[in-house]
Amino acid sequence: MDRGWRTRGTASWAIRIAAKELKDDSNITVSKPDKIAAFFLIATRNCHEKLDTILTDTSKFKRLTANPIQDIKQEANRAINAINTISSAMHFKPITGEFGLGNVKTHSSLPPIISQCPEPTYQLTKRLNSLLIPYLPYWYSVGSSMHFLTTVKGHFRESVINSLDVESLFTNVPVNVTIKLILDRVYRDDSTPPLNISKLALHTLLEICTKKALSSIHHGHMYIQKDDVAIGSPLDLLFPNFYRGVFKEHVFARVDRANLYMAATSMTPS
């Protein structure tokens, strides 16, 4: 028993020493991806090269000459005050305090993730996400692998199963189009009750929370993400699920669908 304790203690000590040596090595960047119990070891030079490639894509990112945090807070608070003035039931907390920039994380084979926790709009983005989830088009979706297995059980004895995938779905969602689809569903669809928020205010808040996602300073320059949904945003599931949900509705209104069609989503309302 004592020998086993010493062995475990020695192994733990060796792991801590190795972790410290990796952390202190400026030539190696240690990155932990979201939702995966693992670490990536990336050559720091390769990490910088990948960030250069990502941030210099002018269709996705815009380089800034001044810190926009105060302007973002003021613009968001104007929309929030307009909402709170009209409705006491739909109260939004004004954005106050000091905030930082989102942090771009890269992995060797994964798309970039922007941690938006330090940003001024993070809590606002979470609130919008919770308000809009009930409006998701979910008729052709399943919420879990168990739901999928239960649904297909016994259906495909004499059928063919096809599986379709969308490459880099999250980072290829057109933000302007998706915002319009959300507004149409909230305010023009008779099957869904409108939110007690003006259409203009909701439009403004959605644009602030998506098209003004801040990334960290890289090589002395500050960047803002101006299109696509940042992985790491509280809206990173809502927007792609909304976009493809409406797309499927339009498609199946015009063509015959398969005997059974399902798409995976982790946001199907219960």
Classify residue 45: in a domain, yes or no: no
Q: What total of structural domains would you count in the chain?
A: 1
Classify residue 23: in a domain, yes or no: no
Q: Which domain holds residue 160?
A: 63-264
Classify residue 46: in a domain, yes or no: no
Classify residue 148: in a domain, yes or no: yes
CB 102 within 8 A of CB 118: yes
DSSP-derived 3-state class of residue 113: strand
Classify residue 42: in a domain, yes or no: no
Higher-pLDDT residue of 167, 98: 98
CB 148 within 8 A of CB 264: yes
What is the per-residue pLDDT for 108? Answer: 45
Task: For residue 205, give Cα distances in angstroms to 22, 62, 123, 185.
Answer: 41, 20, 12, 16
183/247 Cα distance (integer angstroms): 15
Classify residue 53: in a domain, yes or no: no
CB 31 within 8 A of CB 105: yes
Higher-pLDDT residue of 127, 265: 127
Classify residue 133: in a domain, yes or no: yes
Task: Encode pLDDT of 22-39 as tens digits.
Answer: 777 777 777 665 556 667
Beta-bridged to residue 264, according to DSSP, are: 142
Output the pTM of the full model. Answer: 0.69
Classify residue 41: in a domain, yes or no: no
46/187 Cα distance (integer angstroms): 47
What is the per-residue pLDDT for 178? Answer: 92
